[in-house]
Amino acid sequence: MGNVYEVPTWPEPSMAFVELTADRKITYWDNQCEDGYGSDEREVIEYNEFEIVYADSSEAHWTIEDGVLTIEEPDGTSQYMKPWMLRFPPQYWTSPHLMNDEYEPDDHPSEATSIIVGADPQEHTFGCDNGADYFIFSAVLGEAYTLETNTPTNPSVDIRLDVMDLSTSRVAEADSGGVNLNPKLVWSSPDNADYYVRIRASGESRSGAYTFSIN
């Protein structure tokens, strides 16, 4: 073994790594929005055909299928991993500001990202600044629109959505109605005009990936 693995089911800002050496299993994780990263180390006394035997005599079961290493730990948790061939640690682990997405800066109405009604959902990330993301779209008088976010890889992120006119007065809002803690808003435009959408995270988990769409 002796390789470094990624956990592919997690969003990149929350990626974890596992290093297996002859006598250690070391797990590394990002201290999000802080410099550096954390780690946890367990002593290994034996690898055999099916188990990893730890120094406390507990055993983890392992399998490899289709290039994915699965480790089922003694406490019942599982890790699903594939080889990681890039830089370790990732650069944003030591430079947290790099965790922001390609649309940044978009933390102010003047920096709003244009989004087209009916287009594929845009993929965004709440980064280390924990600020709002702003969008702008064109609405037609009397048309009904469905605005919604989704967090398929980070369901604990609680999102709030506000629709605002160009003076930044709020005209509609939602903080629920979608999947998990996501908002879903059905709103009819009172005018032919452009509108801002402000998306913010609240609660304990304020960083992570999400998608936003208008239909």
Residue that the structure tokens 């055909």 belong to: 49
Instruction: Read off the pLDDT of residues 120-164 as tens digits, 9 standing for 90 and up.
Output: 999 988 766 557 899 999 999 999 999 999 987 777 788 999 999
The four Cα atoms 196, 197, 201, 202 give a dihedral, to 10 degrees, of 90
By mean pLDDT, which of 86-90, 103-107, 123-127, 208-212 is the weakest? 86-90
Domains of the chain: 4-94 (2.40.128), 100-214 (2.60.120.380)
Strand partners, 134: 198
DSSP element (H, E) containing 121: none
Tokens of 152: 């398929």
Pairing of strands 122-126, 208-214: antiparallel
Instruction: Read off the pLDDT of residues 174-211 as tens digits, 9 standing for 90 and up.
Output: 999 999 889 999 999 999 999 999 999 876 556 678 89
CB 187 within 8 A of CB 144: yes
